[in-house]
Structure 1
Amino acid sequence: MAEELLFTVDGPKAVPARRISLAEAGLLERQHLQQWVIDHPELIGNGVKIVTFEFDRWVSGAGSAAADRLDVLGIDRTGRLVVVELKRDRAPDTVTMQAINYAAMVRRFSLDTLADVHAAYLGGSTTADEALARLMEWAEGVSDETLSPPRIVLMASDFGPTVTNTALFLYEAGIDIRLLRYQLYETAAGEKMLSVAQLLPVPDAEEFMVRPRSSSATQAASRKSGERRAAAAQRLIAHELIPDGTSLTVTMPNLVGQDRDAIRAWLDAEPDRARVRWYNDLTAPVEWEHDGQRYRLIGLIRTIIESATGKPPQAQIWPTAWYCIDDGRTLNQIADPLP
């Protein structure tokens, strides 16, 4: 793999920075590298929220504790879990098997389990319901089904051919696995700088393979295996099935673990409380007529529930079931036939 070059520049003057290891800088994997990822999740990819770190509450089928510790667990905007394995130096040849093992255990997570884990991570007086609300606000449409199969992210200072070859095989088989290489530099002034680059997947990834192989069939299999049905709101927006400005009505689903009477009475008190307009914008697809503000789907429902009951939602919210068009179909029902 080609080495990255980093320079500090001042007008026409360019001074190369020296590449150093974490050990040379006196930095550690857990206290430093892991904390950088927790503080800046964008290091492992756009749109990832940290759920927990150093997770070791595994139980085997026989009921005994399993001695494994997952470095970082995240969740992306589609509600899919992200397993992150960090290495202080060059990744060992066994790192892919280690990550697969974690992914296999994580795939058994339910949304309730995830809420408990995230509440413990947030600490303080955060309840599981509050943690769940935060997760659902981050990934609208998240459910037990969207959590799996997890994505895998391996982050190290370097990867050998055994790891890259195995990762390519898994990627071509439809497993979402990514290799991120970080490099630490020291400038002439003594400042430390960090760079992170994604090595896999890349268009020219074939150069990392131990031996050549035909890619046409495996790429087709990868595309088919890697297909993933997005959340209802994402599919509606992608297809622009509902025109911008379309009027929607806020209505309660049949099964709602909230105070139905209080919510209904609050909505009925002022007609504009139950009216919104739709916009094909994933960040804020509905405009509430009551205050003229734009909201995420789940964000508005949470606001309505809190306003009506005086307390946060007491159960899971499936926001696309709360909005209807004029013919009575919910967003969920409209999105269901879409690919």
Structure 2
Amino acid sequence: MIFSVSESLEEAKKILPSSFTSLNIWERKHIEEWVRSNPELLGEDLLIVSIEFDRFTNSNDRLDVLALDRSGNLVVIELKRDSAAGYADLQALRYAAMVSSMTIEVLLPYYIAYRKKYDGEVLSDGEAKDQIIEFVESDSFVELSNKPRIIICSEGFSQEITATVLWLRESDVDISCVKITPYQIGSQVVIVPKVVIPLEEARQYLIDIKRKEEVKELSVRKNRPKTMKILIENNLVHEGDNIYLKYGLPTHVEFDPNDPMFRATITGKLGQSDAIQWEKDGQEYSISALTWMIFKELHPDKKDPGGVNGNWHWVHSNGNTLWQIAEQYLESHT
């Protein structure tokens, strides 16, 4: 979030984010040039070696930006101007595969052409190679890595792309997402970059994966009663206890403990599946059915969130999820 402070320093005014579409900013004409001239925008020091790289055998594809990092890895940079980035992840993977066999000798003519076009510098093969070797911070560097990195840069990322990127990272593919947000301040446009993967989304993804693995491990415990039954029968929760929908929320949703959307009360009705009362409408629900309904409502496209175990997401006032409370009890009584 950005704030503009008055000249008197007495007032701070919040500046709301804009969009590249509304500001008539284009991917190739504008964003690509910003990245080319200021690669630090992507969160690290990179040496740009080619723009609009299209020298692929038997292919008309065009790679937005090709760079080199300080470790001697080629970096495939895919640019999109909005969250409707289509198949940016698949495009980037294809480009990375295509350049994975590239050597320094193959790269040199493209780097020389790039420097001549944008910097007016005419380099010999030897001078170009020296610049590349000097940029890489390794005395042992002699050749490009055969595992290019990938950076996808966009105004936003769909859930499909973030899920794919996070899964690829788990599979040891070095792929990152950089979010660039435009703000209009008077007649100027301010760009705020932020590396979002690996950061916040990655943390939640790893939490979800860990829970999945825990559930798989615990599933060997035969005839485990339902979580709410364990909680109520053993007086681990009581009628009137407050619970909060806090964990595993969609990345664009911020938890607010005072919002009735995220609050419910235990009813203590063991014989019924409707064991909690939602504060927003006063109706009673099963915990998983309510969680499914809320997640569907919170999704921008109202998509079906699939199978949801509400006990993983609702937190008791003591700070633990209902699932954790039940599991701790079972572990201490086995």
Tell whether 2:97 aligns with 1:104.
Answer: yes
- Corresponding residue number in structure 2 for 1:129: 126
Question: How big is each residue's C-alpha offset from its partner over 1:182-222, in whole Å with a ceiling of 9 and x where there is no partner?
Answer: 100112x232100011110116624368x9322898xxxxx
Q: TM-score, normalised by structure 2?
A: 0.58
Q: Structure 2: which 5+ runs fail to align?
A: 214-334
Per-residue CA deviation, residues 287-325 of structure 1 (Å, 9 max, x unaligned), is xxxxxxxxxxxxxxxxxxxxxxxxxxxxxxxxxxxxxxx
CA drift of 1:27 comes to 1.8
Superposition pairs of residues 296-335 of structure 1, within 5 angstroms? none
Q: Which runs of 5+ in 1 are unaligned?
A: 60-64, 218-339
1:173 to 171, 174, 189: 171
Look up the equivalent residue of 1:82 and give its one-letter code: V
User: 1:93·1:162 contact (CA, 8 Å) conserved in 2?
Assistant: no
Note closer, same or farther for the CA distance 1:27–1:93 as it changes in structure 2 (3 Å cut): closer
Does the alignment pair 1:142 with 2:141? yes
Displacement of 1:93 after TM fit? 4.1
Give how far 1:75 is off. Answer: 0.6
SS at match of 1:92: coil
| CA distances 1:103-148 after superposition (whole Å, capped 9, x unpaired) | 001101011011111011111532222211110111144333x422
**Which among 68, 73, 76 is matched to residue 69 of structure 2?**
76
Q: Secondary structure at the match of 2:210?
A: coil
Paired residue total: 205
- Structure 2 contact 75–151 (Cα < 8 Å) conserved: yes
CA RMSD, Structure 1 to Structure 2 (Å): 2.1
CA contact (8 A) 1:179 1:198 kept: yes
List 4+ stretches of structure 1 deviating above 6 A. none
1-side partners of 2:45 and 2:184: how far apart? Answer: 29
Q: In the TM superposition, what are the counterparts of 1:172-211 in structure 2 within 5 Å?
A: 172-187=170-185, 189-202=186-199, 205-207=202-204
The alignment's TM-score, normalised by the length of structure 1, stands at 0.57
Percent identity over the alignment is: 32
Q: Matches of 2:134 and 2:108 in 1, distance apart?
A: 13
Query: Which residue is 1:48 aligned to?
Result: 46
One-letter code of the match for 2:37?
A: D
**2 CA distance for matches of 1:148 and 1:26?**
38
The 2-side partners of 1:215 and 1:31 are apart by 44
Q: CA deviation digits over 1:144-202, x for unaligned, max 9?
A: 3x422011100001111110100000001111111111100112x23210001111011
Residues 55-66 of structure 1: matches in 2 within 5 Å?
55-59=53-57, 65-66=58-59
Given residue 197 of structure 1, which amino acid in structure 2 is its aligned partner? Answer: K
Whole-angstrom distance in 1 between the partners of 2:27 and 2:35: 11
- The answer to whether the 8 A contact 1:86-1:154 is kept is yes
Distance in 2 of aligned mates of 1:93 and 1:71:
15
Q: Distance in 1 between matches of 2:201 and 2:19?
A: 27
User: Take 1:111 and 1:21, find their aligned partners in 2: how far apart are those partners?
Assistant: 39
